[in-house]
Structure 1
Amino acid sequence: MSGMTEVSSLTGRLLVATPALADPNFDRAVVLLLDHDEEGSLGVVLNRPTPVDVGDILEGWGDLAGEPGVVFQGGPVSLDSALGLAVIPGAVPAAGRAVGGPAAPDDQGACEPIGWRRVHGAIGLVDLETPPELLAAALGSLRIFAGYSGWGPGQLERELTDGAWYVVESEPGDVSDTRPEGLWRAVLRRQRSELAMVATYPDDPSLN
């Protein structure tokens, strides 16, 4: 495992499924990586809305969830568990200042709202045990996920080597996109590289 200790963290980046990825769980998926190191990876699929309203499973959080106000399927693992992601406008790392809502200083000197832990930039995980009203004033957007996507040690690296994923930068708007069915194309289209051309790839390659 000595070589694995050199894994460069992709936490906060997006995994965008390539057209070659055969796993139906991740067809045209856009995954936000919440954790990535030599011990494995964890993320949530941003573009898999379900028909279930957030308010039907989490009392108090439904009114705070952005449109569409439904639960998203974050991946095939632990579908009976809920995970919250929120964008906090103005919540920046210690190099700047955080604004809005009740806050507590973190170990880097920046302020973060109670019940929210930064993943990358203004995107962070929500502790769903926190009373929703404590976060309401600070929230820019909230999305609730059932389940998550997980990879064991070295598994994601192998998939990247096999060409299953494109790795691109995330933006706060990816968590709150009101048209998740178009997110795969939208993320590729904004790339200033040949990836922008992949956005035109047909849903059925046989039609090309």
Structure 2
Amino acid sequence: MFNELDPKTGCLLISEPFMLDPNFERSVILLCNHDAEGTLGFILNKKVVGCVGDLVKEMATCSFPLHIGGPVAQNELFFIHSRFDLLLSGDEIRENIYFGGDPELLFSLVNQGKIKEDEVKFFLGYSGWQLAQLESEIKVNSWAVQNKFPTALVFEKDTELLWKQAVIGLGAKYAHVANFPQSPSLN
């Protein structure tokens, strides 16, 4: 699987269906930063058992899910959101998708019900690549790159649907992959 990496737009990485690294098996990753120092992104479709309220005392009643952003810095909390109009902070990844911002204000807005579950995603850790590492992985078909996708896909709650829709979004050539079972050996 191969497409051009366009770091200016924010893009999705979709792992090849049978990737051996369990950290990235059937993963969809939103790239948030890609520059001369390396690449940073978050796995969108790997949930942690528990919720944000279990981890953040200021949000004790919040049941929004936590996601494993990747194998790096898994003791740190990160977030993406679509509500710059309320947070007035965060780095724009692409239209209506922002990385980070003011966490205290975010916690308050979530507690007040002004930011909904489909407008923010929380991650423990992130996925990272050193300079040129990701490009090399793309060249050996470990990842497919999707540069055009609806914003709603990033905030999709159903993790299996998110993966399938990302694969289908790669085009007809890859659509059949969306129906591959998670464990082919069990068929």
Structure 2 unaligned blocks of 5 or more: none
Pair 62,28 (structure 1): closer, same or farther in 2 beyond 3 Å: farther
Tell me if the contact between 1:11 and 1:35 (Cα under 8 Å) persists in the aligned partners: no
Matched, 1:74 2:92: no
Deviation string 1:88-129 (CA, Å, 9 cap, x unpaired) is: 3xx6xxxxxxxx43xxxxxxxxxxx42333111100023254
Pair 26,11 (structure 1): closer, same or farther in 2 beyond 3 Å: farther
Deviation string 1:132-161 (CA, Å, 9 cap, x unpaired) is: 336874766111100000000110000000
Instruction: Kindly report which structure 2 residues correspond to 1:65-144, keeping only aligned pairs within 5 A, or say none.
Output: 69-88=64-83, 100-101=85-86, 113-132=87-106, 133=108, 137=114, 141-144=119-122
Structure 1 unaligned blocks of 5 or more: 1-6, 92-99, 102-112
Report the AA paired with residue 89 of structure 2: G
Deviation string 1:146-195 (CA, Å, 9 cap, x unpaired) is: 00000001100000001001101343212321211332112112343311
Tell me if the contact between 2:27 and 2:43 (Cα under 8 Å) persists in the aligned partners: yes
Q: SS in structure 2 opposite 1:127?
A: coil
2: CA distance, partners of 1:128 / 1:85: 11
What is the root-mean-square deviation in Å for CA atoms of aligned residues? 2.6
Percent of pairs with identical residues: 30
1: CA distance, partners of 2:178 / 2:16: 10
1: CA distance, partners of 2:176 / 2:10: 24
TM score, norm. by length of structure 1:
0.74
Q: SS in structure 2 opposite 1:79?
A: strand
Which protein is richer in helix relative to its size?
2
CA displacement at 1:10 relative to structure 2: 5.7
Report the AA paired with residue 39 of structure 1: E
Tell me if the contact between 1:87 and 1:175 (Cα under 8 Å) persists in the aligned partners: no
1: CA distance, partners of 2:66 / 2:46: 9
The structure with more radius of gyration: 1
Match of 1:161 among 126, 133, 139: 139
TM score, norm. by length of structure 2:
0.81
Match of 2:24 in 1: 26
Match of 1:94 in 2: none
